[in-house]
Amino acid sequence: MPKKVLLDVDPGIVDAMTLCLAVFDPTIEIVAITSVGGNVPAPLAAKNLQAIIEFLDPPRLPRLGMGNEPDEHPPVDFRHVYGFDGLGGTPLPVAELRSQHPAEKVICDAIRSDPENVIIICMGPLTNIARAMIRDPELPQMVRHLYITGGTINAHGNVSPCAEFNIFADVHAAHTVFHAPCTKTLVPLEVTNQVMFTLAQFDQLPDESCKLGQLLRSMILPAFNAYRQCYALEGIHIHDLITYFVMTHPEWFETQEMTVDIETEGHLTRGMTVFDLRNIPELPAKTDVVTQINAKTVLREIMTGLCDAANQME
């Protein structure tokens, strides 16, 4: 039976790639997709989500929810990498919804409609998830599993010396979520950085004779140029895709149980994920943290999945 999944995304080229895989994946049933500000501001994230879903036109349209900015929004996004629109300047027409459903309400409704059966995959800041938990305090006990892209075990951050972007973007939301009593798996930078999507994989994408090939090639090529200019890397990181496969293929990964907390106040350490391995009962609920990955298998499966999705769109 397909796993019931809710995706919380901040599209973003890599989030868009993940959506291309997920909406055509026969092993999952997407009950809802919510947008959150992160790679791009919240209104643009909502517009991008609608545009991507309209373009993909999946066999079953999921319910969409649109998030707002966090209460304390740091002056940072990744449009210098992903383009002014977050999608590499790819022109995607969209009929914007006149009446948008709040993301936290969509999350609460999806979980309440099927308690203990819906998995949430978080690919951006945890704003929506924290707000849903505040809106419905019983929600954490009803979530089947929460997968989170974010954090860094060794304090080698990508937005500050010791903070990862998704956690840094809404530290108070992250603090709320990691203290919530639900089953969680964290996929940190040490794992996602092990996989680079290079020009070798780009050449294996569906070609421009099909709709999905046109979309992927248009979005991804500018990201290669940005990564080369900003980071001197000949490839792009695909953090959110890794988290997706942690959920669909846990056998490709190794995890270690740890207590995770978030530094919310430090001038230099704000957004740092702190891992406490002490055996103290009073510590917050433990989290499964991914520590090892079968990178070659993941890359191979990504290419296979995108080609399958392209065939289903034709």
What is the per-residue pLDDT across 152-201, written as a single tens digit (0 to 9) for each?
998 889 999 999 999 999 999 999 999 999 999 999 999 999 999 999 99
d(C-alpha 11, C-alpha 86), whole Å: 7
Query: How high is the pLDDT of residue 185?
Result: 98
Q: Cα torsion at 235, 240, 244, 250 (round to 10°)? A: 80
Identify the bridge partners of residue 63 per DSSP, sorted by sequence position.
32
Query: DSSP letter at 35?
Result: E
Residue % of the chain over a pLDDT of 90: 77
Considering the segment(s) 3-313 as one domain, its CATH architecture is Alpha-Beta Complex (3.90)
Q: Which of 5, 90, 2, 8 minimizes the C-alpha distance to 46?
A: 8
Among 29-33, 91-95, 103-107, 285-289, the minimum mean pLDDT is found in 91-95
d(C-alpha 122, C-alpha 264), whole Å: 20
Phi, psi of 44 (to 5 degrees): -70, -35
Helix or strand run (H / E) with residue 104: helix 103-113
d(C-alpha 290, C-alpha 246), whole Å: 8
Q: Cα torsion at 158, 240, 35, 156 (round to 10°)? A: -20
Mean pLDDT of 65-89: 83
d(C-alpha 218, C-alpha 215), whole Å: 5
| Radius of gyration of the chain from its Cα atoms, rounded to whole angstroms | 18
Query: How high is the pLDDT of residue 232?
Result: 92
d(C-alpha 140, C-alpha 127), whole Å: 15
Domain range list for the chain? 3-313
Residue carrying the six token digits 């957004």: 271
State pTM to two decimals: 0.95
Query: How high is the pLDDT of residue 86?
Result: 86
d(C-alpha 63, C-alpha 6), whole Å: 10
DSSP secondary structure letters along 256-292 = EEEEEEE--S-TTTTT-EEEE----TTSPPEEEEEEE
**Is there a cis peptide before residue 124, judged by omega within 30 degrees of 0?**
no
Query: How high is the pLDDT of residue 96?
Result: 65
For residue 133, CA distances in Å to 8, 52, 70, 88, 179 come to 14, 27, 15, 33, 11
Q: What is the pLDDT of residues 78-96, one digit of tens each?
A: 888 888 888 988 888 776 6
Instruction: Report how far Cα 217 is from the mean position of its chain's Cα atoms.
Output: 20
d(C-alpha 64, C-alpha 278), whole Å: 41
The pLDDT confidence band at residue 68, using thresholds 50, 70 and 90, is confident
Q: What is the pLDDT of residues 111-134, one digit of tens each?
A: 999 999 999 999 999 999 999 999
